[in-house]
Amino acid sequence: MNTIEIDGSQGEGGGQILRTALSLSMCTGTPVRIHQIRARRPKPGLMRQHLVCVQAAQAVSGAEVQGAELGATELHFAPAAVRAGDHRFAIGTAGSCMLVLQTLLPALMLAEGESTLALAGGTHNPMAPNWHFVSRVFAPLLQRMGVTLETTLHRHGFYPAGGGEVDVRIVPAAGGPEPFSLLERGEARAAYAECLSPALPRRIADRELEVLGEALGWQGEALRNLPARQHEGPGNALMATLEHEHVTELFTSFGEKGVSADQVARRLAKVVFGYRAGGAPVGPHLADQLALPMALAVHRSGRPGAYLAGEMTEHAWTNLEVIRRFLPVDIQVGEHPHGWLVKVATALA
């Protein structure tokens, strides 16, 4: 089988190119060679969290791999058959273990049986989908495809300490995943804010919730200080969840040194205002996350799928380009009054 060549410097030039290429290589059984890995990052090449993604993909698929070492800028990955089962992967740093899940999920949701993953690392990272997003936003959409994704958080993990622990259960759809159309939010059902701030003074969380509540008009039970153990920090994540009939969206603002509680809250309020005003059901991060499972569902079923996104980030555009290299699907992205309409169909012969 011919090897697909992927330029890791294309588009946003980050780790998502590596992860999507590994996922699709496993799903299709196609060998892939990735060069200039993370070329657009300050420290190019494989960092610890990326290396664990490669090692996890190798363990699940029995792949032959060349170049799997820290700092490597070129990797050759030739998968065998994907094996459902029980797996355990630990990053050993605060790198996101949810990105390990992101790498393995597409292949395991197409596998012959149920799989479980025990993952350790970061669970709430600024540059990755956090555990709350995966469980609250992403998993219900996979369920619409017929795929069960259950996640259990045992311990939070923040940068720089890490130490998060998550168990995952993946049950493939009987008969294969089915695509769907997500073009409207539907009726608004709930909106609330939550703050995680382990090992930080309580006043920080209180202030973030107060400022966010004043900006968005939320109060009382809509402002929640989530329990977290001291040894899970220090860390700070302020989250806003908006539940609608057809979709739930979650947005996060992370605290960091030199950034005040007011700034953290106002930054999140701005994002929520933008989503509310836009009208599209799919936010910018979900638009990226949804692309690969939707394309796989279309490819396997032969039926079309679509979603309306308020924004298409460079990350999302790059992800679509990698998907097109592996799958015979036609992905059309067109401007829409509420953003961008992403339509996926089987490619014409």
Q: Which residues have a catalytic role annotated?
A: 315
Helix axes 15-28, 97-108, angle to 10 degrees: 20
d(CA 330, CA 206): 48
Can the peptide bond before residue 172 be classed as cis, meaning omega within 30 degrees of 0? Answer: no
Note whether 331 and 344 are within 8 A (CB). Answer: yes
Instruction: For residue 299, give Cα distances in angstroms to 39, 106, 295, 306, 328.
Output: 30, 13, 6, 13, 7
**8 Å CB contact between 237 and 252:** yes
Q: Which helix (H) or strand (E) holds 261?
A: helix 261-278
| Diameter over CA atoms, the chain | 61
For tokens 């090992």, the residue is 199
Q: Please name which of 326, 271, 276, 272 lies closest in space to residue 299, comparing C-alpha atoms.
A: 326
